[in-house]
């Protein structure tokens, strides 16, 4: 029996590729999918052969939001029971001594993605709505195919800004853009998503995954995995810090970096004009 349900998982070229795999439902989100994604991300975090995590959708969609069949079964007063019974609660997030701890700041359903000390890229290949959109906001980077469509969806379902999107979205797009996208629940395309800062880049649909994986290989092959781990923790922690705290942590982490193998290799490969051979140590 597979360790995962409703997803696919593979590792190649030091990239873990997690694919939401309900293409006939535009990869609508389920409890099984949620548990499997979390388990796969944790497995990738523990695998020394993985340096970058990419999450995408099978078929023509990324994630159409919550499975409507599950939404129809929700009853008032039972929502918290559903949350407490989630199958991913027993998945333990690995601890890391690289950079500041951010686990206290980022909880909830998807906050574990901030604690993972490897870059997490959302490769949004098609329709991305509701909880699917929220999930991507917890990823470190977001790339979209030129045909991708987005919607927050909640207001058109009589729902509110859930799972922390009210905190994340304004920090990514700005307050006015966030309120527009939340209030209207309108559909918008990849070009607008990039213009408002929701996605980092858009790529033509026919070369989309090739471009995403090319970028992932850039991270996997040419930069220090230790440096990325520390910087990721620094940036997510900084959203809760003032400048002086960020400077103090940066100074302390820089001092630690000088004693690492990756620092020595970073200087050596530049001086010797050769490809880097970082180890993460």
pLDDT tens digit sequence for 171-222: 999 999 999 999 999 999 999 999 999 999 999 999 999 999 999 999 999 9
CB count, 10 Å around CB of 16? 24
The edge-to-edge listing of strands for the beta sheet with 141-145 is 7-12, 15-20, 52-57, 120-124, 141-145, 201-203
What separation in angstroms does the CA of 127 have from each of 8, 41, 130, 177?
19, 22, 10, 19
On whether residue 53 sits in a domain, the answer given is: yes
Domain count within the chain: 2
On whether residue 135 sits in a domain, the answer given is: yes
Report the greatest alpha carbon distance in the chain. Answer: 65
Q: Same structural domain for residues 72 and 185? A: yes
What separation in angstroms does the CA of 32 have from each of 37, 123, 157, 222?
9, 20, 23, 35
Q: What sign results for the dihedral spanned by CA atoms 197, 199, 200, 201? A: negative
Q: Same structural domain for residues 250 and 111? A: no
Give the residue, 92 or 208, on which the prediction is more confident: 208
Quick: pLDDT tens for 228-276: 999 999 999 999 999 999 999 999 999 999 999 999 999 999 999 999 9
Q: Where are the beta strands (DSSP E) in 13-98?
A: 15-20, 52-57
Q: Same structural domain for residues 239 and 108? A: no
Q: Same structural domain for residues 139 and 260? A: no
Question: Are the CB atoms for 220 and 53 separated by under 8 Å?
Answer: no
Question: Cα–Cα distance between 100 and 278 in angstroms, integer?
Answer: 22
Q: Same structural domain for residues 59 and 156? A: yes
Strand-strand pairing, 188-189 and 15-20: unpaired
CB count, 10 Å around CB of 63? 29
Q: Same structural domain for residues 210 and 231? A: no
Question: Cα–Cα distance between 281 and 260 in angstroms, integer?
Answer: 6
Q: Same structural domain for residues 93 and 34? A: yes
Mean pLDDT calculated for residue range 19-34: 96
On whether residue 276 sits in a domain, the answer given is: no
Question: Cα–Cα distance between 30 and 10 in angstroms, integer?
Answer: 21
**Per-position b or e across 225-234, b if 16+ CB within 10 A of its CB:** bbbbbbbbbb
Percent of the chain beyond pLDDT 90?
Answer: 89
Domain boundary among 220, 239, 260: 220
Q: Same structural domain for residues 50 and 153? A: yes
- pLDDT of residue 69 exceeding 70: no
On whether residue 126 sits in a domain, the answer given is: yes
Q: Same structural domain for residues 25 and 80? A: yes
On whether residue 148 sits in a domain, the answer given is: yes
Task: Count the helices and strands in the chain (H runs, E runs).
Answer: 12, 9
Q: The domain that contains 215 carries what CATH number?
A: 3.90.226.10
Mean pLDDT calculated for residue range 73-100: 69
Q: Same structural domain for residues 114 and 12? A: yes
On whether residue 133 sits in a domain, the answer given is: yes
Q: Same structural domain for residues 12 and 120? A: yes
On whether residue 2 sits in a domain, the answer given is: no
Domain of residue 27, residue span:
7-220
How sure is the predictor about 91, in pLDDT bands with cuts at 50, 70 and 90? Answer: confident
Domain boundary among 220, 240, 257: 220
On whether residue 280 sits in a domain, the answer given is: no
Q: Same structural domain for residues 229 and 110? A: no
Smallest CA-to-CA distance from 114 within 88, 96, 89 is with 96
Question: Are the CB atoms for 37 and 44 separated by under 8 Å?
Answer: no
Domain boundary among 194, 220, 246: 220
Give the global pTM.
0.93
């Amino acid at each position: 029996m597979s360790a995962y349900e409703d997803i696919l998982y593979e590792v190649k070229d030091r990239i873990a590729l997690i694919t939401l795999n309900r293409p006939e439902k535009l990869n609508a989100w389920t409890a099984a999918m949620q548990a499997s994604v979390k388990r796969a991300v944790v497995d990738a975090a523990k695998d020394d052969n993985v340096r970058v995590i990419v999450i995408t959708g099978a078929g023509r969609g990324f994630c159409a939001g919550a499975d409507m069949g599950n939404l129809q079964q929700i009853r008032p007063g039972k929502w918290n029971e559903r949350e407490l019974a989630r199958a991913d609660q027993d998945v333990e997030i690995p601890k890391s001594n690289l950079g500041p701890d951010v686990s206290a700041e980022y909880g909830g359903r998807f906050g574990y993605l901030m604690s993972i000390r490897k870059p997490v890229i959302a490769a949004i290949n098609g329709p991305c709505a509701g909880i699917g959109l929220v999930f991507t906001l917890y990823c470190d980077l977001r790339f979209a195919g030129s045909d991708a469509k987005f919607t927050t969806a909640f207001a058109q379902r009589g729902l509110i800004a859930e799972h922390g999107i009210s905190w994340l979205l304004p920090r990514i797009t700005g307050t006015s853009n966030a309120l527009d996208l939340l209030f209207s629940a309108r559909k918008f395309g990849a070009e607008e998503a990039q213009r408002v800062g929701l996605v980092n880049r858009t790529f033509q649909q026919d070369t989309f995954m090739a471009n995403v994986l090319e970028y992932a290989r850039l991270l996997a092959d040419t930069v220090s995995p230790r440096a990325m781990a520390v910087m990721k923790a620094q940036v997510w922690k900084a959203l809760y810090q003032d400048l002086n705290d960020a400077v103090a942590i940066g100074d302390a982490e820089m001092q630690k970096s000088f004693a690492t193998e990756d620092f020595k290799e970073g200087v050596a490969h530049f001086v010797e004009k050769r490809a880097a051979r970082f180890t993460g140590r």
